[in-house]
Structure 1
Amino acid sequence: MILSPFEWTVAKRYMVPGRSEAFITLVGAISLVAVMLGVAALIIVMSVMNGFRAELLDKIVGLNGHAIVQSYDGKMTDWREIVKEARETPGVVRATPLIEMPLAASHRGMLRGILVRGNAPEDLKRLEPNVILGDLSRLQPDERNVAIGARLAENLGVRVGSTITITNPEGRATPFGTVPRQIGYEVVAIIEVGVHQYDELFVVMPMEQAQTLLMLGDAVNNIEIKTTDPETVQTTLQPLADRLRGRAVVTDWKQINSALFSALAVERVAMFIVLSIIVLVAVFNILSSLIMLVRAKTRDIAIMRTMGASRKSMIKIFVTAGFVIGALGTGAGVVLGFVFLQFRQAIVRGIEFVLGVNLWDPEVRFLTELPSRTDPGEVIGIVVMALVFSFLATLYPAWKAASTDPVQVLRYE
């Protein structure tokens, strides 16, 4: 829509009415701020939701792989053959044995439930970026050393060099019954994955030590698999699942965490709809301000019509006046949204300090910090949606202005 110099001059004049229309100016300013806040809220919430899903997926998948192969009886003696089959499957990047078992650990009278993980050497190396204290290289197959999660270390009162006792209730049978197996391990490293649930449970040790603790012999109970694309993991591993049918079951990350990620998807859609309604309500302010402007400028419109201004010119003038408000609000909302996301953690801490409440509890949110991942496509979609709403809100007032009959308005002038 190209405006003539006359139309653009009048439109600029109507964007900032004079002192006599101060109330209209106030409503227009409120409209701009409302659109800005609505767009910023949409960008912030969608980016945080995307970041939460992405961070959670990265940490869970980075620790557990994209899929797990489990035997039906919990003991996989032919795991080397299965690992070979998995590595030969197209699309599989990595396949390694894994031992995982819930047990209990104690230290100086403190008892906590734990999740023992026995990892192969290459998997232990991948944990090195998560070490906050100690030395992961001391996890050797012939030494009783372990690395534990940061939250578990706090709960047990453990530090590097301390000894924890791990209890396996399935001990050896004696004439007096089954005696639980208890073994002491030195803590040589403390790790922080970033997922509170894991940092509170994990005890990592070499696979050979886990086999000894659980009396598995040379067997394992899981095989961890990573593929080229986590989103297509089910399709990629379907041939392997067919070959292993009757021997083992393949469970991908979507199935393991189905409840969590389904809830995130539903919440994401719900938040987008609710916040879109907020933007729509904000745009109604543009509609109301333009209606008041048309009523206040009825005489001016009639005079311009008698001087030769066409109906089309009137529509262009009022559509431009309202659309510019929406466009400015949308642009300001994008800037505000990115500024908030850039300093989100400091803002959260500031609000917590002022209100004296914990807004981001890792035990509830799974992650230790507020995540963010902005999708450019979503931002463009939000901007387009806000601009379309703003444009639609200008059509009725513009049509009313164009429908003004100069004869009726100026009859008694």
Structure 2
Amino acid sequence: MILNRAERMLARRYLLPDKGEGFIFLVATISLIAVALGVAALIIVMSVMNGFRAELFDKIVGLNGHAVIQGYDGRLSNWQQIADQARKTPGVTSAIPMIEQPLMGTANGRFEGVIVRGMRPEDLRSNNTLNAHVVAGDLRTVTPGSNRVAVGSRLAETLGLYPGGQITLWNPDGRSTVVGTVPREVTYTVGAIFEIGVYDYDKAFVVLPIKDAQELLLMGDQVGMIEVQTTSPDKVQQILDPLRKAVQGRANVVDWRQMNSALFEALEVERVAMFVVLSLIVLVAVFNILSSLIMLVRAKTRDIAILRTMGASRRGMMKVFMTVGVTIGSLGIVLGIIIGAIFLYFRQGVVEAIQKLTGQNLWDPSVRFLTDLPAKPDPFEVTAIIVIALILSFLATVYPAYKAASTDPVQVLRYE
């Protein structure tokens, strides 16, 4: 809206309090703050939800790849041929053999269910998800024949482990004797402790060289699965369709969506639901703008009538009051962006401060999966929030502006 000099002066005057209009100014200020809080809440929640998805995806895919090729009985005997087929598939960047098996671990008189993962030394060294999150010890000491393993930080806390400590792994499929099957148990030295940031992994994972895992599980030269990385995780299904047909009858191809479908679908549903619910805050704030403008028009009826007799047009009066309402909404949006940015920057400190004040653990990683509160603002979503808030603010000004423009000077000034 382009305003002339007189209209800009009127809009500026109506934005500032006048004698006897303190209540109207108070309502307008509350409207501005409400818009700011609504926009800030939307930005914060959507950024946190995006952060959840991004962090979970990066860490889950960093350990499990974009897809895995699994044997029907949990073992792949001809894995070299299948791995070669996978590498030759267009769009596949790597195919890594590995073993993953749930077992029982014990240390210091404590028992805990663990997930044993066997990896080749070169794959272990090149895995950024593990190497970047070692909190104690040295992952380079975990080599074939060294009898060393790496364990998750939560598992280490539960079993009282530390670098140089020992953990015993139990394999129920041991050797057969005349009295039955005797479980196989092997004791390993802890070479490194890692903390990926996903509670379920840090609580259970024990990583060791694939040769040692094959000996522990009596698998010979077999592996449990082949981890596949692709050029595009969003197109993994289309990329692996030819491979799925090639290994049909010998193995099953499962992509990251299928492995974690319940988790990511729940996040998507919650993300949409939170956006809709929190948009209601902005809607309520917009109704506050509507009410403050209606009161302003009522208070300025005599002024509007005088301006109309002096030649002010209906269109001009509409532009003045629409400018007032949109300005309140715009200032609220700017303030909301600032509040949202500050909160996201200090989000972990805010969570810790609230925990200290309340004495409650608001971020239990056993419930929330991740150990820290993540955030990833999406410029497209932030833009959409701003546009929606602006549109709602504009719509809230239409009725009061129309009423102001419809003021009949004759009726208002009849008895003046």
Equivalent-residue separation in structure 2 for 1:259 and 1:152 (angstroms)? 25
3-state SS of 2:100 partner: strand
2:36 maps to 36
3-state SS of 2:173 partner: strand
Does 2:56 match 1:61? no
* Structure 2 counterpart of 1:397, one-letter code: P
**Aligned to 2:213, which of 210, 216, 238?**
210
Equivalent-residue separation in structure 1 for 2:370 and 2:336 (angstroms)? 27
2:167 maps to 164
CA shift digits 1:90-128 (9 cap, x unpaired): 111111001000000001210000000001123211222
CA shift digits 1:229-257 (9 cap, x unpaired): 11111111111001111110100010000
* Structure 1 counterpart of 2:75, one-letter code: K
Equivalent-residue separation in structure 2 for 1:356 and 1:123 (angstroms)? 43
Conserved? CA contact 2:83–2:97, under 8 Å:
yes
3-state SS of 2:132 partner: helix
Equivalent-residue separation in structure 2 for 1:350 and 1:176 (angstroms)? 59
Where does 1:298-377 land on structure 2 (aligned, <5 Å)?
A: 298-377=301-380
Equivalent-residue separation in structure 1 for 2:161 and 2:17 (angstroms)? 69
3-state SS of 1:75 partner: coil
Q: How many residues were matched structurally? A: 413
Where does 1:1-400 land on structure 2 (aligned, <5 Å)?
A: 1-125=1-125, 126=127, 127-400=130-403
Equivalent-residue separation in structure 2 for 1:128 and 1:298 (angstroms)? 71
3-state SS of 2:264 partner: helix
Equivalent-residue separation in structure 2 for 1:258 and 1:163 (angstroms)? 36
Which stretches in structure 2 are left out of the alignment for 5+ residues?
A: none
3-state SS of 2:60 partner: helix
Equivalent-residue separation in structure 1 for 2:224 and 2:186 (angstroms)? 20
* Structure 1 counterpart of 2:84, one-letter code: K
Equivalent-residue separation in structure 2 for 1:189 and 1:93 (angstroms)? 28
Does 2:406 match 1:406? no
3-state SS of 2:375 partner: coil
* Structure 2 counterpart of 1:83, one-letter code: A
3-state SS of 1:19 partner: coil
Equivalent-residue separation in structure 2 for 1:26 and 1:363 (angstroms)? 45
3-state SS of 1:193 partner: coil
**Any runs of at least 4 consecutive aligned residues in structure 1 with deviations exceeding 2 A, and if so which?**
none
3-state SS of 2:414 partner: coil
Equivalent-residue separation in structure 2 for 1:284 and 1:245 (angstroms)? 60
3-state SS of 1:200 partner: helix
Deviation at 1:139, TM superposition (A): 1.3
Equivalent-residue separation in structure 1 for 2:66 and 2:305 (angstroms)? 69
Equivalent-residue separation in structure 1 for 2:288 and 2:137 (angstroms)? 59
**TM-score, L = length of structure 1:** 0.99
* Structure 2 counterpart of 1:178, one-letter code: T
Equivalent-residue separation in structure 2 for 1:367 and 1:343 (angstroms)? 17
**RMSD of aligned Cα (Å):** 0.7
Deviation at 1:278, TM superposition (A): 1.0
* Structure 1 counterpart of 2:81, one-letter code: E
Which stretches in structure 1 are left out of the alignment for 5+ residues?
A: none
Deviation at 1:143, TM superposition (A): 2.1
